[in-house]
């Protein structure tokens, strides 16, 4: 099963698939996890601004990437919570 953080990264960066043997996989998972758990958007941006990947076709800024990532993470958490409730 693919990590939710890798799935979200690949949704946000469709031109950069992460395969199981990709040496960046662990670092990207950790950075996406840090974005998810950051207390503020600016703290989350600080995690990835070193990527220097903006603007790009999907996101104009790191902040735009962070906002979309955190929204997808929240949606995934809600969906998981609903599945848990329906299994009860």
**CA–CA dist 22, 33 (Å, integer):** 18
**Whole-number pLDDT of residue 17:** 95
Mean pLDDT within 52-68: 95
Report the interhelical angle of 62-87 vs 25-37 (nearest 10°).
Answer: 80
**Cα first-last separation, the chain:** 23
**What pTM does this model have?**
0.84
pLDDT per position as a tens digit, 40-53? 999 999 999 999 99
38 neighbors 74 (Cβ within 8 angstroms): no
pLDDT per position as a tens digit, 7-42? 999 999 999 999 999 999 999 999 999 999 999 999
3 state SS of 38:
coil
More confident: 83 or 45: 45
**CA–CA dist 20, 78 (Å, integer):** 26
């Amino acid at each position: 099963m693919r990590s939710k953080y890798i799935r979200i990264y690949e949704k946000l960066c469709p031109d950069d698939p992460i395969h199981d043997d990709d040496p960046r996989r662990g670092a990207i998972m950790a950075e996406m996890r840090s974005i998810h758990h950051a207390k503020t958007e600016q703290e989350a941006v600080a995690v990835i601004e070193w990527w220097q990947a903006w603007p790009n076709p999907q996101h104009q800024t790191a902040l735009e990437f962070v906002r979309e990532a955190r929204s997808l993470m929240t949606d995934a958490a809600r969906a998981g919570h609903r599945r848990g409730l329906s299994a009860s």
